Structure 1
Amino acid sequence: MTEQTANYDSPWKEVIELYFPRFLEFFFPQAYTVIDWTRPYEFLDTELQQLEPDAEIGRRLVDKVAKVWLLNGEAAWVLVHVEVQGQYDKEFAERMYTYNYRLFDRHRQRVISLAILADEQENWRPSSYSYELGGCRVSLEFPIAKLLDYELAWETLEQTSNPFGIVVMAHLKTKATQRKPENRLQWKLNLVRRLFDSGYSREDVIELFRFIDWIMVLPKELAISFQTELRSYEEAKRMRYVTSIERLAKQEGIEQGIEQGIEQGILQMGRDNVIDVLATRFAEVPSSLVDAINGINDSSLLKILLKGAIAIPSIAEFQQFLNDHTSGDIQFT
């Protein structure tokens, strides 16, 4: 079992959106208490994407921005960073500062910046960024929650009725059983049984089960054992959660397949457009260049390349243009 088999970012994004008030209540009670929860809040993912694509972040961070209303009647934005893969990042504090001031600069809204750290380094706790030059000082201090700390407060996780008690337990045990699939199976069963017995609503049980099942990936044979044990437990408790979950998963799988098919069709159209323009302008396009273009899975990059294919005067210069936009990773012969 390797770290690559566990997908952390998508489950965290989903569970934060589903239980945003409970998320703040659990991890950041001071922020929670200044917000007027009788008024609707709104996630602003488009605004976040416009800040910067930031390819270097990759799949290591979950970023969410929500517009909320404060108890004093003013609007504010809550910017959440979750370091989901648990890796030390020396530029993390600077990124927190950068995103905070960019949001303020673009929208003139006060921003509450918050960070969840899921790494395993006890002493890595970035909570501020500052610099001073020529008598001028700039700084940002931001609250953090370190998931590692909850290992010493396991009883608290077991006793809380907040959904993020289950979420944190699942995350920690996923990390702890990376190369111990049998242990992961037992912990997964333990957490799901706890979830079923917790008194949560049917909807909450299904949503939190999805989170657990999503991140606590098991090898095929152990996944079958998990399903068998789960069905037996469900029958003993006269519950019908698993059937509902399986039906939901099947439907989502169909929908995801359709979405992926559409996305791949759009990407292939983008690749074909670039190649067709090059072939029209330069008659012959090197096979290595065609292969490189067909290997691109970024629609925004394909748009840039299409503009380049239209305007750049030679095939050699286009090859260099492509290299420049792929960090020089593609070599041509």
Structure 2
Amino acid sequence: MVVAWVREETTPYGGSLVDQDGLWKKVIGELFEDFLLFFVPELHAQIDFGKSPDFLDKELFQEIADKKKGRRFADRLAKVRLKNGKEQWILIHIEVQSKKETNFPERMFQYFYRIYDRHQEKIVAIAVHTSPSKNAIPDRFTYDYLGTQLHYMYRNYQTEAYSDEELEQSDNIFSKIVLAAKALYQTKDEEHQRYLFKRKLMRELIRNQNYTRTAVQAVFHFIDYLLQLPDAYTKQLSEEIRSMIRKETELMELYNKENASPTIKNVFDLELEKGIEQGIEQGVKKVVLEMLRKGTSTDFIAEVTHLEKDEIEKLREMLQ
């Protein structure tokens, strides 16, 4: 059994709340293999990913409960098959830490012994912190009282420990999730910088032929909701992404509109809108040409169609 804890809090932006724990839960489920490969490659090497993991989140939620009032967290419980044929549980408690808590190591131990006591499984515990702070976060819990001692350590990772350059150069698509998590704080008060970051990352994901469209859509969904933008920037981003996707051969057909992120949904809507506009434009041109053939005056056509007179004259020249 593997336990990965990631702690997260909702973050306000533009008057709305970002459900970060929900986003992490979703993206870890969709990019489960990439998540493990990024943080725990030695564990990843033991798993047979030819067999899809079974997620049993309801069972996890019932068994592990934080009694502290108001605490929000997401959970992932997966049952996988190892390459040696054995069945193994991977338990992920998503609790992305955004601020320092003195009792965090103790809580890590409490989750450990609850799981161990219930299932008697070997457990690898992982803590992932998304705080922008570079201060070291404790990776152990110790207890020493009248000769009774306890020393518990767990895997500890901080997104801030990964440089932007390292994440940009990584081939693992989950590195882009970590990069976006860092950008949440880096662009907190810089709307234009956030827009530039999203545009750059989306362009790179679209152009990278090594990533499946399903994986790309999972990352798009994460960064679109995590890194929210004002409406004007959102519209501009959709226009630019639309222009790029249309240049790539048949890329539009590779995106599933039903599961698309807001930006990609806007791209589909823009395509529909432009298609309707083009259809109307072609229909108007046909009507104008027919009116010109019948000798209708330019002034009358302009009054009826609301076209500029120079446009009508260009159509007249086409007939001649």
* Both proteins in one fold, TM over 0.5: yes
2:221·2:261 contact (CA, 8 Å) conserved in 1? no
The alignment's C-alpha RMSD in Å is 2.8
Residue 146 (structure 2) pairs with residue 134 (structure 1): yes
Which one of the candidate residues 92, 113, 122 is aligned to 1:101? 113
In terms of fraction of residues, the more helix-rich structure is: 1
Question: Aligned letter for 1:22?
Answer: D
> What TM-score comes out, normalization by structure 1 length?
0.66
> What TM-score comes out, normalization by structure 2 length?
0.68
Question: Aligned letter for 1:92?
Answer: F
Which one of the candidate residues 18, 34, 38 is aligned to 2:30? 18
- Larger Rg belongs to: 2
What is the distance in 2 between the residues matched to 1:29 and 1:132? 34
The within-5 A match list for 1:63-82 is 63-70=75-82, 74-82=86-94
Question: Aligned letter for 1:157?
Answer: L
Identity of paired residues, percent? 32
Which deviations, in whole Å up to 9, do the C-alpha atoms of 1:21-43 show, x marking residues without a partner?
A: 22111111233234444555332
Residue 96 (structure 2) pairs with residue 87 (structure 1): no
2:35·2:174 contact (CA, 8 Å) conserved in 1? yes
2:81·2:88 contact (CA, 8 Å) conserved in 1? yes
Report the counterpart of residue 133 of structure 2 in structure 1.
121
Report the counterpart of residue 149 of structure 1 in structure 2.
161
What is the distance in 1 between the residues matched to 2:76 and 2:69? 14
Question: Aligned letter for 1:167?
Answer: I
How far did residue 7 of structure 1 move?
2.9
Aligned length: 249
SS, match of residue 80 in structure 1: strand
User: Which piece of structure 1 moves more, 185-194 or 14-23?
Assistant: 14-23
2:61·2:75 contact (CA, 8 Å) conserved in 1? no
Unaligned regions of 5+ residues in structure 2, if any? 1-10, 263-320
Unaligned regions of 5+ residues in structure 1, if any? 252-333
The higher relative CO (CA closer than 8 Å, separation ≥ 6) is in 2
The within-5 A match list for 1:187-266 is 187-199=197-209, 200-241=211-252, 244=255, 246-249=257-260
Question: Aligned letter for 1:21?
Answer: E
SS, match of residue 140 in structure 1: strand
SS, match of residue 132 in structure 2: coil
SS, match of residue 115 in structure 1: strand
Question: Aligned letter for 2:172?
Answer: N
Residue 8 (structure 2) pairs with residue 8 (structure 1): no
How far did residue 241 of structure 1 move?
4.1
Report the counterpart of residue 169 of structure 2 in structure 1.
159
Pair 90,111 (structure 1): closer, same or farther in 2 beyond 3 Å: same
1:83·1:118 contact (CA, 8 Å) conserved in 2? no
Residue 189 (structure 2) pairs with residue 176 (structure 1): no
Pair 157,131 (structure 1): closer, same or farther in 2 beyond 3 Å: same
Question: Aligned letter for 1:248?
Answer: N
Runs of 4+ residues deviating >6 angstroms: none
What is the distance in 1 between the residues matched to 2:152 and 2:74? 20
What is the distance in 1 between the residues matched to 2:50 and 2:255? 31
What is the distance in 2 between the residues matched to 1:250 and 1:171? 17
Which deviations, in whole Å up to 9, do the C-alpha atoms of 1:92-112 show, x marking residues without a partner?
A: 211111111111111222222
How far did residue 58 of structure 1 move?
4.9
Which deviations, in whole Å up to 9, do the C-alpha atoms of 1:194-234 show, x marking residues without a partner?
A: 11011112222222211221211111222111111211222
